[in-house]
Amino acid sequence: MNQIVQKKRIAEGINLFEIEAPLIAKKRKPGQFVIIRIDETGERIPLTIANADKEKGTITIIVQVVGKTTEHLGTLNSGDSILDVVGPLGQPTHIERFGTVIAVGGGVGHAVCYPIARGMKDAGNYLISIIGARTKNLIILENETNAFSDELYITTDDGSYGRKGFVTDQLKEILDSGKKVDLVLASGPAIMMKFVCLMTKEYGIKTIVSLNSIMVDGTGMCGVCRVEVGGKTKFACVDGPEFDGHEVNYDLLLKRLATYKEEEKLAYDKFMLKTKDK
Amino acid sequence: MGEEKKKKKKERAPRQEMTRQDPKKRIMNFNEVALGYSEETAVIEASRCICCPKPKCVDGCPVLVDIPGFIKLVQERKFVEASKMIKETNVLPAICGRVCPQETQCEIVCVLSKIDKPVAIGRLERFVADYEAAAGEIEMPSKPEPKGKKVGVVGSGPAGLTVAGELAKMGYEVTIFEALHKPGGVLVYGIPEFRLPKAIVAREVDFVKKLGVELKTNFVVGRIATVEELFEQGYEAIFLGLGAGLPWFLNLPGINLVGIYSANEFLTRSNLMKAYLFPEYDTPLKVGEKVVVIGGGNVAMDSVRTSIRLGAKETHIIYRRSRKEMPAREEEIENAEAEGVIFDFLVNPVEFLGDNEGRIRAMKLLRMKLGEPDDSGRRRPIPIEGSEFEYECNTAVIAIGQGPNPLALSTMKTLKLNKWGYIEADWETGKTSMKGVFAGGDIVTGEATVIEAMGFGRRASIAIDKYLTTEEW
């Protein structure tokens, strides 16, 4: 069960896994995620379902190495299995024909944006994609996104590829061009989503963000993923993960994401030491 | 005559205590606190039972265990037989013997309690169940005639396990769908190892599996399949034993500060994810030096006692009424006291205060006094105006109860819910407003006990059998 049928390194420190999960593949909709646990001593982490193949019965997840669990995942290969994969969780994206939609994906956050953007395109929207990253070899899914986007822009912080600057620079240019934009989607680091939303609020454009809170069960049972949206407490796992970006308290999100910083480092260092010994 | 009576009274042994781990030692580990009876103490305790002809204890038990019957077998040292007798009506005796509130169920009505302490029914139940398991003599009931009908059970907590076990014994093909990666529901994510070792839960789940029940973990009904789809897949009746599962937070300023946990999160990290073994296990659980747990029930006691074992230096229970009104079992309160928990009564938080990094550093508490009894029969706490004061703490656990989790329910449009969002089901049969759908346990009653959920499950299993046999709804 949950066997990895394909593993591909798609950028520096970013792997794509295609996993056998026929029931999830059949049910999932854009915007939903799975929770995985690699082995008996593993933790439960949420990962967006980037793609699914109903016929093959597989789902695709895209994972950047950021800590122990993702590092460990990166050591797995085609043929290996993941102990637990549960989903599809979360509310699917509300997809309809809005008109013109801009999808902004930052770093590995573009893996979250990607299925939603595709859903928007399939629903008949004019789709503009912006993919941003720190540097060229962190850009993911460029060709795949290009295949269905009406316009595609790349930005890198260091200018090694595409436009030099942040996704917000590109976004501003489009918004200033006078084009009528009906909806913006944003997914990436909390700080990026915050700045995208500050900008789109100014322009009065509805913006949906997908939040990457810490989760345990993913079914609304524990409340660790709670976020403040419009001053109200919401659970990202069952009420989200997508919310009205203009209403989200990003500072709180950032602080809550940092809850286990020290423990995460400890677990990572311990894992690296162990793998080095081998 | 009078003298003879006096003599007899003298002969009765006192209620036998269980040995417990020394508080100083046990706060350093997660091993079980109560160590159970030896054969000798069990026989002595059993001999205290006068085996009344009209026993009241049986009526006090939600699943109607033949209590005098099994105690008589203990008197005769037929421990395995005693365990088997309990299992006729209760598939999880080792669990019930540990976590049932006997003092408000079977033991409170024990005839002896009028003149002496009641027979320690729970401790005896635990003893015989453990004895049977240790003896390796767990015998399976004879295989029933297959009914050729499939029943789906949603949730593998006490209610679900009971329904599944009972129906399997009758010959139904039963599948349990569990959302988490481990079966057991609240028994694995909620109740700590030191009160209910997980090996015992695994043993009892294994027993249910051996009865022929199929168990599908990581299966979130409502997401991966709806109840309607399960019917389409050939299940002819569905039992919903979802548990409560939606933590209540206090709607107060600062409730989302880092370091404020729901009891569900706190306990799930520790119990299900084994955070107490971090970093051997990956899931962490951070406790500060001074931990406060808000609430006065068993879950609050479990949380506060977990926090001590995780290294908290000072632990407090914050409760808005007084000790007398606390819903926790007396035994759990005593255990917490022995482990050094400080109880702060008649105070209630009104605000949580954070530091620059958004971590909790203090609470604002308001003093309370007790007024007239409310609907629950307990005296109502009344705030004392102007009595606010600041109270430092680094970790807070909110253990004020939980409500119904809407995840699965929201996908069942025709299922009737009550005004609190729990399923409206008949308490005798578990029948809901949807044909073929039964429900029981906390998702119907609201938060209750393990044994009440099991009692509900037992009644529902009889009703499900009747429905599938007669096809009458």
Specify whether A119 is located in the same domain as A217: yes
Asked if residue B121 has pLDDT above 60, the reply is yes
Considering the domain boundaries, does residue A275 fall inside one?
Answer: no
Considering the domain boundaries, does residue A265 fall inside one?
Answer: no
Report the alpha-carbon distance of residue B247 to residue B261 in Å, rounded: 10
| Domain end residue (candidates: A89, A114, A134) | A89
Confidence of residue B11 (pLDDT cuts 50, 70, 90): confident
Asked if residue B139 has pLDDT above 80, the reply is no
Specify whether A116 is located in the same domain as A164: yes
B246 to chain A: which residues are within 8 Å by CB?
Answer: 220-221
CATH of B248-402, one of 3.40.50.2300, 3.50.50.60, 3.40.50.720, 3.10.150.10: 3.50.50.60
- Each domain of chain B, given as residue ranges in start order, spans 16-22+31-135, 150-245+405-470, 248-402
| Domain end residue (candidates: A89, A118, A144) | A89
- State residue B10's pLDDT score: 53
CATH of the domain at A32: 2.40.30.10
Q: What angle do CA A161, A131, A107 make, to 5 degrees?
A: 90
Tell me if B279 and A238 make a contact (CB, 8 A cut-off): no
Specify whether A151 is located in the same domain as A174: yes
Mutate to test the interface with A, among B230, B282, B352, B402 (most CBs of A within 10 A): B282
Asked if residue A278 has pLDDT above 80, the reply is no
| Domain end residue (candidates: A89, A124, A151) | A89
Distance of CA A196 to the CA centre of its chain: 15
Specify whether A70 is located in the same domain as A200: no
A164-187 pLDDT, tens digit each: 999 999 999 999 998 999 999 999
Asked if residue A160 has pLDDT above 90, the reply is yes
Specify whether A238 is located in the same domain as A137: yes
B52-78 pLDDT, tens digit each: 888 999 999 988 899 999 999 999 999
Instruction: Fold for B150-245+405-470, please state it.
Output: FAD/NAD(P)-binding domain (3.50.50)
Specify whether A118 is located in the same domain as A239: yes
Specify whether A63 is located in the same domain as A124: no
In this complex, the residue of B265, B282, B405 whose CB is nearest that of residue A224 is: B265
Confidence of residue A4 (pLDDT cuts 50, 70, 90): very high
- pTM score of the predicted model: 0.93
Report the alpha-carbon distance of residue B271 to residue B389 in Å, rounded: 34
Asked if residue B346 has pLDDT above 50, the reply is yes
Specify whether A26 is located in the same domain as A136: no
Specify whether A252 is located in the same domain as A192: yes
Specify whether A85 is located in the same domain as A119: no
Domains B16-22+31-135 and B150-245+405-470 share a fold: no
Say what the ipTM of the complex is.
0.94
Tell me if B220 and A233 make a contact (CB, 8 A cut-off): no
| Residue B440: its H or E element | none
Mutate to test the interface with A, among B223, B248, B257, B260 (most CBs of A within 10 A): B223
Torsion (CA) A33, B272, B303, B308 in degrees, nearest 10: -120
Q: Is the CB of residue B180 less than 8 Å away from at least one CB of chain A?
A: yes
Separation in Å, CA of B147 to nearest CA in chain A: 28
Calculate mean pLDDT across residues B322-346.
Answer: 94
Q: Which of B95-104, B135-144, B339-348, B445-454 has the lowest average pLDDT? A: B135-144
Task: Give the A-side interface with B, CB within 8 Å.
Answer: 23-24, 27, 37, 41-44, 68-69, 83-89, 216-217, 219-224, 226-228, 233, 238, 251-252, 255-256, 258-260, 263-264, 266-267, 270
| Average pLDDT for chain B | 92
A91-116 pLDDT, tens digit each: 999 999 999 999 999 999 999 999 99
Number of structural domains (chain A) is 2
Residue A174 domain boundaries: 100-257
| Nearest Cα residue in chain A from B278 | A267
| Nearest Cα residue in chain B from A267 | B279
Specify whether A69 is located in the same domain as A105: no
With tokens 């295989």, the residue in question is: B143
CATH of the domain at A146: 3.40.50.80
B182 to chain A: which residues are within 8 Å by CB?
Answer: none
Specify whether A157 is located in the same domain as A80: no
B189 to chain A: which residues are within 8 Å by CB?
Answer: 217, 221
| Nearest Cα residue in chain B from A41 | B281
The highest-level CATH class for domain B16-22+31-135 is mainly alpha
